[in-house]
Amino acid sequence: MRRKIAAGNWKMNLTETEARELTSAISDKKIPNDVTVILGCPAPYLSLTQALTKSNKNIHISAQNAHQESKGAYTGEISHNMLSSIGVDHVIIGHSERREYFNESNNLLKKKVEVLIENGFQVIFCCGEPLKVRKSKKHKAYVEKQLKESLFHLSSTQLKNVIIAYEPIWAIGTGVTASPAQAQDMHKYIRSLIRKNYTQKTASELSILYGGSVKPANAKELFGKQDVDGGLVGGASLNAESFNKIIRSF
């Protein structure tokens, strides 16, 4: 059975006090046994949130990025060794904002994925198309290229450590959401690509999340689709009441 996942991406938000309060408000509530919660925190709060949630087995802490090298003269970067040393076991890789603002290519993301999986991490791999590509009806080919160039060199065993997050760029932070039918259509296609490149078993076991203006009002319908296994949530994950409702939307 695939994991049901509610993942929050805090991006560059919150003070230390706000991060503490939000984490406590999420971890203090009982989480359904079949739901995994992942908090994608800014680097300064990783140790704090890890400590606050250590006793809650349903919650994992994720970094929002990691460097492809284990160490070195890369001022301002974070290595997998640093993350491992504080107990962080998930990393978000390839978010559209990293691709756009920091020029992260499919080839660079391939290297990041490799080093993280080799060192025991779960990778939340983001993919998705801009509005121009969606309007040209080339969105499936666009996403397929992202997956082929960054993920599909992995073995089936390695791929078990990947969670795919489909995020149509035109729906991130805009208030516009892909309809449940649009989300299901792309998730189904992504799963078909996994089946084609690996096996039916691999495809049926890999969780695919939807990201793009997920909120309590639409989460239940989105998560109810056959191939949508949860969400990578942005703005709504910064509010405890909203995110707790999303966690209970499955």
| pLDDT bracket for residue 5 (50, 70, 90) | very high
> Rg for the chain (alpha carbons), in Å?
17
Kindly report the CATH number assigned to the domain that includes residue 109.
3.20.20.70
Give me the residue label for tokens 């990947």.
162
152 pLDDT more than 90: yes
Active site residues: 95, 167
Q: Which amino acid is present at 31? A: I
173 pLDDT more than 90: no
Here the tokens at position 4 are 């049901």
Cα–Cα distance between 250 and 127 in angstroms, integer?
23
CB 35 within 8 Å of CB 6? yes
Task: Give pTM, 2 decimals.
Answer: 0.96
The number of folded domains in the chain is 1
Convert the pLDDT of each residue in 116-140 to its tens digit.
999 999 999 999 999 899 999 999 9
Give me the residue label for tokens 């949508």.
228
Residue 73 buriedness (CB in 10 A; 0-12 / 13-18 / 19+):
exposed
User: Which range marks the domain in which residue 39 is found?
Assistant: 4-247
Convert the pLDDT of each residue in 181-234 to its tens digit.
999 999 999 999 999 999 999 999 999 999 988 999 999 999 999 999 999 999
Q: What is the mean pLDDT of the chain?
A: 96
Q: Could you give the angle at the alpha carbon of 173 between the alpha carbons of 18 and 231, nearest 5°?
A: 80
